[in-house]
Structure 1
């Protein structure tokens, strides 16, 4: 039994950090009412966490390789617990958003060490089992977030979605001190500060630009200046990494098509599987009138399917099937998005989401653990932190950009429907619907005209959800095709190139 305690320790951290990606979705309407938060603030509550992970993951992976994976994981657990407490007692949206960003930093320092700690603790068949169990936890954590969030929000308060992290963190910290060990002494080196700074600016500027475009429109000059800053910063990042003797991302890894395929798959999966959940939860609660518990339970088929499928594929992780399993997972996720887009309409209820959620759960279960195994197979162990950072960066950055992009899709589709029905100031009304303010809109009109606006709001919200699901499905299907092309050949020649370079160094 003791041999599985390192797996339990890693899984506890993974459970918390991935749970907090989506657990807030179901609590957003209550947060808005309690803190008087705007639509953009709600987006930042979700995106601040994901953006911190995306912007810092590569640098954190490099730091973990230098400082030691166990020490880094322990520091992340402590920071995550402290910031969770601050999130729970936040008196206003600003404090909550800042605390969510800090929580994302803690999550980053945990996530970047996951694979290295598992590789150090297990070998052979045990390693395959460990990856399978970890994948089941990872696959279900993000999906089960709305369910746990719904229970805590309805039975206690939205603040308990953060307080619940405290006892779990305490157990994980105790286990980390007791059972985990580093693979080797941390090797000497330096932190790639210039690379970290340029990538962070690029990721933050791109995400802020998309959120601002949703709030102020694409004609806003600052939106385009932010996009230009993001592009220039990305070019600077690539130049810095190419010239650095100890880059946080070795660009040689990008010469391996299989590793690039893993990055494409990681990004497409998180965009497609989780990006639309914020908007489906708002639709379920503020338009259809479900409670937080009921709305969270709608996602139960996704969670259960992801857990069962991911837990059952560990025996395939050492074979030559990784590319096909990942592509199949993305295809199933894409089918789920398309199904949801076809079934959701103005008169639809929550049942319309279930078939698509089942398919998405299948896709998440197939792809999550396999992505981890494929990433680690593509690099030598000395690059474990770097590989982990790259994969998690692709996941969290695509999720953050997905929230912002799909927000624009939701607003545009809802505004079109409202405009066709003659609702004045359709774009502002669409943003209010996306921010969970449908009830407030209806209360502001006379009773004799309320039914007309209610029908328009319901149709507009359904169109917005339909648009987010359609775009999500398309991204997953495109990702599936790209993965088949990129991961169709065997072998990882870049691994041998990197090993040879290190042997000569």
Structure 2
């Protein structure tokens, strides 16, 4: 039993930080009332956390490799707990947004070092089991966040969704101190400051641009300016990394089709969770469910994810990722397509159950095998780099999913309302703002919007499944040197 205490410490921290990506969604109306916050402020309360996660995750993995993953994990847990306390005490929207950004700093370091600690603490079949349990916790956390948010907000206050992190942080800190050993890159290398800075700028500006698209469109000066800055920062990052003797991201991996396919898989899988944002709006704004019941309607996804992840860690440990990764994407895409067909104007919340169960099975199959495939593609001393890349692509995938699916959602609603109401744009904003007591005419439009979101997700994941089935056959290098011979992933 003692050997699983490190897993408990890692899972506690991971559960806490992933829940905070979705727990705020159902509390936004209460936050608006309590802090007199505008809609723009509420959007930043939700988005700043994801933005910082995406910008700093890969950088945090590199720092953990150099200074020690246990040390950085402890530091990140302390930051996350303190920032959560500040969120709960926030007297105005500005303080809350700032504290959420600090949460993102702690969350980025915690998330990437979590995977690296598991990769270096466990090996063989134990690693498969640990990754399966950890992946199940991640999937369940993302799915049940709205349920916890609804329970705490309705039962106590919106501030409780942040206060609850404080005792969990303390317990995680104590377990980590007691049961996790230090691990780090053996050679003494200096921090790749230029690489960290350029990648952080690229990630932050790209994520910010995607957020702006939903509000200002693709052609707005702010969106185009941020996209241009992201491209420049990416070019600088590539140039810098090619000249570094110890880069935080080995560009040899980027040139390998298998590694790129795994990263693309992470992006596509993240769209499944991005769908939940618009599903929650439909459940609450159109169907009139409470935050708690809306969260419970999403429970099939959490249950299926937990069950399939736990089983996958053991039963699929020796199966090639060229089989399991495409299978997971087919399940996610198939479940999304099922929801796209079953959700219509007369549908109620029960229409979601079959599709969410299939999607959850796909998420559960994919998360542990994807993580294991990444660890197989990098040497042990660069586990932080590999896990950081995977976590970064997942966060960027979710940001991209929310932005693009938000456009699909709003555009479909406007098209459905055109000719039926005097201002289709106002009707769409009423739904996308999460307002309650919407007119009956908006209900069918909202259902069509959710259906379009799921169909778009199905299209992406099934295309990526086809790419993964072909590309993961290619060799993946196991050394950071550009000149060393790669080995194959079996």
SS in 2 for 1:237: helix
The answer to whether structure 1 residue 131 and structure 2 residue 105 are counterparts is no
Task: Give 1:44's aligned residue.
Answer: 44
The answer to whether structure 1 residue 495 and structure 2 residue 475 are counterparts is no
Change (3 A) 1:81 1:204: same
Cα distance in 2 for partners of 1:61, 1:27 equals 31
Preserved CA contact (<8 Å) 1:326 1:371: yes
Cα distance in 1 for partners of 2:389, 2:315 equals 23
SS in 2 for 1:113: helix
Preserved CA contact (<8 Å) 1:417 1:456: no
TM-score (norm 2): 0.93
Preserved CA contact (<8 Å) 1:43 1:404: no
Task: Give 2:106's aligned residue.
Answer: 106
Task: Give 1:448's aligned residue.
Answer: none
Cα distance in 2 for partners of 1:240, 1:82 equals 34
Cα distance in 1 for partners of 2:39, 2:408 equals 14
Cα distance in 1 for partners of 2:91, 2:212 equals 24
Task: Give 2:471's aligned residue.
Answer: 486
Task: Give 2:364's aligned residue.
Answer: 365
Change (3 A) 1:409 1:97: farther
Preserved CA contact (<8 Å) 2:143 2:302: yes
1:107-155 CA deviation, whole Å, 9 max, x = no partner? Answer: 1111121233223322333222222222221222211212222221221
Task: Give 2:26's aligned residue.
Answer: 26
Task: Give 2:321's aligned residue.
Answer: 322
Change (3 A) 1:138 1:200: same
Q: Which 5+ residue runs of structure 1 have no aligned equivalent? A: 443-453
Cα distance in 2 for partners of 1:421, 1:433 equals 16
Task: Give 2:429's aligned residue.
Answer: 431
Q: Number of paired residues?
A: 485
Task: State the 1:5 CA deviation.
Answer: 0.8
The answer to whether structure 1 residue 477 and structure 2 residue 465 are counterparts is no
Structural mapping, 1:89-168, within 5 Å: 89-168=89-168
SS in 1 for 2:157: coil
Cα distance in 1 for partners of 2:13, 2:324 equals 26
TM-score (norm 1): 0.91
Task: Give 2:300's aligned residue.
Answer: 301
Using the TM superposition, name which of 130-139 and 63-72 deviates more: 130-139
Cα distance in 2 for partners of 1:170, 1:207 equals 31
Task: State the 1:301 CA deviation.
Answer: 0.5
Cα distance in 2 for partners of 1:429, 1:231 equals 36
SS in 1 for 2:478: helix
The answer to whether structure 1 residue 14 and structure 2 residue 14 are counterparts is yes
Cα distance in 1 for partners of 2:205, 2:193 equals 18
Cα distance in 1 for partners of 2:33, 2:434 equals 9
Task: State the 1:356 CA deviation.
Answer: 1.5
Structural mapping, 1:307-456, within 5 Å: 307-316=306-315, 318-424=317-423, 426-439=424-437, 454-456=439-441
Preserved CA contact (<8 Å) 2:210 2:399: no
Cα distance in 2 for partners of 1:184, 1:283 equals 46
Cα distance in 2 for partners of 1:222, 1:497 equals 37
Task: Give 1:226's aligned residue.
Answer: 226
Task: State the 1:369 CA deviation.
Answer: 1.0
Change (3 A) 1:154 1:229: same
SS in 2 for 1:276: helix
Task: Give 2:245's aligned residue.
Answer: 245
1:177-221 CA deviation, whole Å, 9 max, x = no partner? Answer: 111112357642222222222222222222222322322334422
SS in 2 for 1:420: coil
Task: Give 2:488's aligned residue.
Answer: none
Preserved CA contact (<8 Å) 2:9 2:172: yes
